[in-house]
């Protein structure tokens, strides 16, 4: 399904922008139509997609061997409404999303670092990786729901 880092990153960047629209729409509905459930639904979806995008950005950054700068820009772009789209365009245009998943070690000495070996291990088992990421995102999501929104209850 996601044969390249570009296809996965682009999909999540677009999903994150769509989830911002749902959250903003929910806020508007709550303010104009007194429908607080709209924020609960839109915010819940946005929160889940936000975490999934962050996990995807880190995975792609590891595979593509981005430095700290591009990785931070990619992750932080989710905090700013719709910023994941121009971030994806920038990363694509600068060649940072070029290539395939690094499933095998090559001649690069970095291929033998423990982190690179671990990334390759999971990339060769995409279902295991997907389930682990989904479980991690779900766990963080549940913890954040239990903790509640910043500043207390609405």
Does pLDDT of 154 surpass 80?
A: no
Does pLDDT of 48 surpass 70?
A: yes
Does pLDDT of 153 surpass 70?
A: no
pLDDT of 56 reads 96
The domain locations on the chain are 5-99
Average of pLDDT values for 25-49?
A: 94
pLDDT of 103 reads 93
User: What contacts 24+ positions apart, CB below 8 Å, involve 121-128?
Assistant: 123/63
**pLDDT single digits (tens) 78-129:** 999 999 999 999 999 999 999 999 999 999 999 999 999 999 999 999 999 9
Can you tell me the distance from the alpha carbon of 33 to that of 53, in angstroms, rounded to the nearest whole number? 30
Q: CA of 87: how far to CAs of 12, 31, 49, 70, 108, in Å?
A: 12, 30, 16, 9, 28
Where does residue 35 rank: exposed (0-12), middle (13-18), buried (19+ CB within 10 A)? middle
**pLDDT single digits (tens) 135-149:** 999 999 899 889 987
Can you tell me the distance from the alpha carbon of 24 to that of 13, in angstroms, rounded to the nearest whole number? 17
């Amino acid at each position: 399904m996601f044969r390249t880092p570009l296809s996965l990153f682009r999909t999540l960047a677009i999903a994150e922008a769509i989830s911002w629209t749902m959250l903003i729409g929910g806020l508007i509905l709550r303010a104009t139509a007194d429908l607080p459930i709209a924020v609960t639904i839109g915010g819940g979806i946005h929160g889940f997609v936000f975490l999934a995008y962050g996990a995807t950005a880190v995975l792609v950054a590891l595979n593509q061997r981005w430095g700290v700068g591009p990785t931070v820009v990619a992750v932080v772009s989710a905090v700013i409404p719709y910023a994941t789209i121009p971030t994806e365009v920038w990363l694509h245009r600068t060649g940072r999303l070029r290539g395939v998943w690094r499933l095998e070690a090559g001649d690069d000495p970095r291929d033998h670092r423990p982190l690179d070996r671990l990334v390759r291990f999971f990339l060769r088992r995409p279902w295991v990786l997907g389930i682990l990421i989904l479980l991690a995102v779900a766990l963080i999501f549940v913890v954040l729901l239990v903790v509640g929104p910043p500043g207390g209850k609405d």
